[in-house]
Amino acid sequence: MSRTAVFAREQLRAPLTLVLLVSVPALFVVAAADALSDFAGALGGDLAGDAAVALSAGWAAAFVSGSLGFFQAASSRGADRRLALAGLGPARVAVSRITASLLLATLASATAFATLIVKTDLAHPWHAAVAIWGFALLYLSIGVLVGSLVRAPLEGSLLVVFVFLLDAFAGPGMTESVPPWAISQKAADILIAAGLGASSPSGDWVKLALVTGGALLAALVVFVAAARSRA
């Protein structure tokens, strides 16, 4: 069995992980759309209706993937470093660890997408699917990045949630003007457009691919650097 499969199985052996991976995205999509609309109204945004439901699917995948990425990186840090030192090297451990997280984040994305499809009648379902996966990959990267640098569970998970909240409340549909640091901006634009029955310009797809790829690369680099760190 490959290292990636062993690491993924390791995570799924936690009694609640699989249940949470499936239930949290579904519940979030069902319950959070109205709350997102209310917050948008208070913050000056215009998010409502199917656009809000679509965006909630992205945030659901983001939340679960960010938490997963953080705990995967933080909880296995010592043993992963020992394996790297035994001869595997930090890069190969990092790729296996992040790929294993990516598989589980894809499962969470699929659940969020399936719930979205059941709840709404989207004109561009595959646009929504890719954007939800983009959310998941972005936050998986953020989780891994934080987990590589901050080992304490409380501080690390609070940091991931803090980034999530800043990004969510400053993103498209939530405010009148979106700040440039809103990392999920293009994923949210594409999801909102899908919710409104519109397609997205190719520039948005390119930017989403660049931001997502850059985030994954940053997570990989920081994971490797932390595994090599001997301060």
Partner 1 sequence: MAAAPSRATPDFVPATGSEVLRVADVTKSFHRGPPWRRRDVEVLRGASLRVGPGELVGLVGENGSGKSVLMKIIVGLLGRDGGSVERPDRLGYCPQVPLVWEKLTVGEHFELFATAYGMSAGAGRAAAESLMDELRFARYEHYRVEELSGGTQQKLNLGLALMHEPQLLLLDEPYAGFDWETYLRFWEMSETRRAQGMGILVVSHLLAERERLTRIYELRDGRCEVL
**Which residues form the interface with partner 1 (CB under 8 A)?**
1, 3, 6, 10-11, 13-14, 76, 78-79, 81-88, 230-231
CB of 79 to partner 1, least distance (A): 5
CB of 83 to partner 1, least distance (A): 5
Residue 1 or 154: the one with the smaller Cβ distance to partner 1 is 1
Residue 82 or 201: the one with the smaller Cβ distance to partner 1 is 82
CB of 172 to partner 1, least distance (A): 39
**Sign of the C-alpha dihedral, residues 54, 56, 59, 65?**
negative
Strand, helix or coil for residue 65:
helix
- Neighbour count for residue 108 (Cβ, 10 Å): 30
CB of 140 to partner 1, least distance (A): 19
Do the Cβ atoms of 94 and 223 come closer than 8 Å? yes
Residue 33 or 93: the one with the smaller Cβ distance to partner 1 is 93
Do the Cβ atoms of 25 and 111 come closer than 8 Å? yes
CB of 229 to partner 1, least distance (A): 8
Rounded-to-integer distance, Cα 49 and Cα 28, Å: 15
Residue 3 or 151: the one with the smaller Cβ distance to partner 1 is 3
Nearest to 194 by CA among 137, 139, 116: 116
CB of 100 to partner 1, least distance (A): 12
Residue 98 or 132: the one with the smaller Cβ distance to partner 1 is 98
Residue 78 or 180: the one with the smaller Cβ distance to partner 1 is 78
Nearest to 26 by CA among 67, 68, 56: 56
Helices (H), the chain: 3-12, 17-43, 49-75, 77-83, 90-119, 125-149, 153-170, 185-195, 202-228
